[in-house]
A and B are shown apart, each in its own frame.
Chain A
């Protein structure tokens, strides 16, 4: 109902709306357990850079040169992580950049540390860059360790309004609308959010009872 993907896509859309007309870049990546192999730090940071560069009128000379150099050796080599980080440091220093990373906990642990280390290097050169990350609560310690003193954390739990929006959307999709009347609909929109709010309050407490 309210997933980290929903939150990420909402934030990305809102940043893109704000960016319209201004000189701002928005780059995003969604991690996925099912595709861990392809999601190395180099390709993930590479795709962030790709999105920033895609919004520029011209590919920066530094990147063209790196591309030409790598094409000459062993029939064309991919970019190196250190090159990508360097290029991101340069581009994000020149243009205000928002980086959004969804479900960081779905990234392989070793890769996660490398990725966070690289983000920290980018922030050192370009402290105005904004980084948005979602993930399960257990990765917060790792994020705080790698990006010391730069992290604010918010808990994502569905609010009453979220539950109502969700129920409204589901009721709209009802394929047997004849079975629904307005008083039943009103009852659902009142009763379920109340019950869920109570469950949200009580579940953690019940969980502590031995």
Chain B
């Protein structure tokens, strides 16, 4: 009796642990139906190498990237303003 009870508990525990890991894809899908990875790959492939690299060297980008929200002058948000097609109209 007690043997079969503890067996049951064991199988229940195994089932629960298994359950959480097993549900991982379902839980991720439940969080959002969107999949931005493909869009990122498309853009990455069509991007001309080195273009816009200068931004990574600017003081604004560097301090945004290195900041940790510790002091009052820290900017957690970096906004890059421009036309989504900026430049496209110059050369076609």
Contacts and interface: CB of A to CB of B under 8 A. Distances in A.
Interface of A: 1-15, 18, 28-30, 32, 38-39, 42-47, 49-51, 53-54, 58-59, 63-64, 67, 70, 78-79, 84, 96, 103, 105-106, 119, 123, 126-137, 140, 143, 147, 150-159, 161-163, 165-167, 169-170, 192, 196, 199
A47 B52 contact: no
B36 A29 contact: yes
A43 to B, nearest CB: 5
A111 B77 CA distance: 19
Given A59-B27, A129-B76, A131-B78, A157 B53 contact: no
Most central of A3, A13, A39, A53 by chain B CB within 10 Å: A3
A59 B58 contact: no
Interface of B: 20-21, 23-24, 26-28, 30-36, 39-40, 43-44, 47-56, 58, 60-61, 63-65, 67-70, 74-88, 90-91
A40 B34 CA distance: 10
B51 A6 contact: yes
A4 B81 CA distance: 8
A154 B91 contact: no
A70 B24 CA distance: 15
Contacts of A158: 86-87, 90
25 contacts: A1-B90, A1-B91, A7-B82, A15-B65, A30-B36, A30-B43, A38-B33, A53-B27, A78-B30, A106-B84, A123-B69, A128-B70, A131-B76, A131-B77, A132-B64, A147-B76, A150-B75, A154-B58, A154-B81, A156-B80, A156-B81, A157-B86, A162-B52, A165-B51, A166-B87
Most central of B31, B79, B88 by chain A CB within 10 Å: B31
Nearest to B76: A150
Contacts of B34: 29, 38-39, 43-44, 46-47
A67 B76 CA distance: 30
A131 B65 CA distance: 9
